[in-house]
Structure 1
Amino acid sequence: MTMFDRVKEISKKRGLSLAQLNEKAGFKQNVIYSWKTKTPSIDKVESVAKVLGVSVDYLLGKTEKEEPMNNTRDMEVEEALNSVRMYQGKPISDAQRETMKGIIRAYLDAQDKNE
């Protein structure tokens, strides 16, 4: 399933047309439709994920779980992880990604306590 197909499917589940989603995400007309043939920028994918309440990983097909973003902390962790795609020239595995999520959450929690 392509990212466009995932976006279309989850939009339908949320009761939104693609045109409505496009508008809620703050895009110019037909931006999401262009994803049939073009790869969107990560900031656009993040905007759509936020509107739909799913993870960027779900939209990218990296997970089959919709994993809604529960809070701002989850979004901060996802943003941090989105900058890490490879380590030592190799893509990071799902297990490594989950480990890094835990480390980032712990770090952010510790920062909150120190403020």
Structure 2
Amino acid sequence: MTVLERIKKISKKRGFSLTKVNDMAHLGTNTIYSWKTKEPSFNNLEAVAKVLNVSVDYLLGKTEKEEPVNDTRDMEIEEALNSVRMYQGKPISDAQRETMKGIIRAYLDAQDKNE
């Protein structure tokens, strides 16, 4: 499923037209429709994710969880994991990503206790 298809699906679920989402995200005219043929910028994608109350990772198809990440620590972990897309030349799986999240959380929790 493409980014545009995911946006269409979640917009419909939220009761919004793509034009309405486009306007609510303060994007230029037909910006979302242009994503049929070109890649969206991160800032525009983030604006749409906020309007739809989903994560950017959901719109990109990296997760099936629609809920956005709200906790600051979780956001930092997500940012760190977004830079890790490959390991030994292969894309990381969702299971590996979840394992890495747990390791990073445990590490950060231990650091907090040592402060």
Paired position in structure 2 for 1:59:
59
1:29 aligns with 2:40: no
Q: 1:65 to 1:110 in 2, by over 3 A?
A: same
Moved more, 67-76 or 86-95: 67-76
Alignment of 1:81-100 (within 5 A): 81-100=81-100
Q: Is the 8 A contact 1:50 1:69 kept in 2?
A: no
Paired position in structure 2 for 1:3:
3
Distance 2:55 2:112 in 1: 23
Distance 1:16 1:93 in 2: 32
Aligned AA for 2:92?
I
Superposition deviation, residue 98 in structure 1: 0.7
Aligned residues: 115
1:45 aligns with 2:51: no
Q: Is the 8 A contact 1:77 1:104 kept in 2?
A: yes
Q: Which runs of 5+ in 2 are unaligned?
A: none
Distance 1:35 1:110 in 2: 42
TM-score of the pair, normalised by structure 2: 0.76
1:77 aligns with 2:77: yes
Superposition deviation, residue 86 in structure 1: 1.0
Paired position in structure 2 for 1:15:
15
Moved more, 29-38 or 46-55: 46-55
Q: What is the percent sequence identity of the aligned residues?
A: 77
Q: 1:95 to 1:26 in 2, by over 3 A?
A: same
Distance 1:100 1:52 in 2: 27
| 1:4-55 superposed Cα distances (whole Å, 9 cap, x missing partner) | 0110111122232222322333322221111111122334323322332222
Q: Pairwise CA RMSD of aligned residues?
A: 2.5
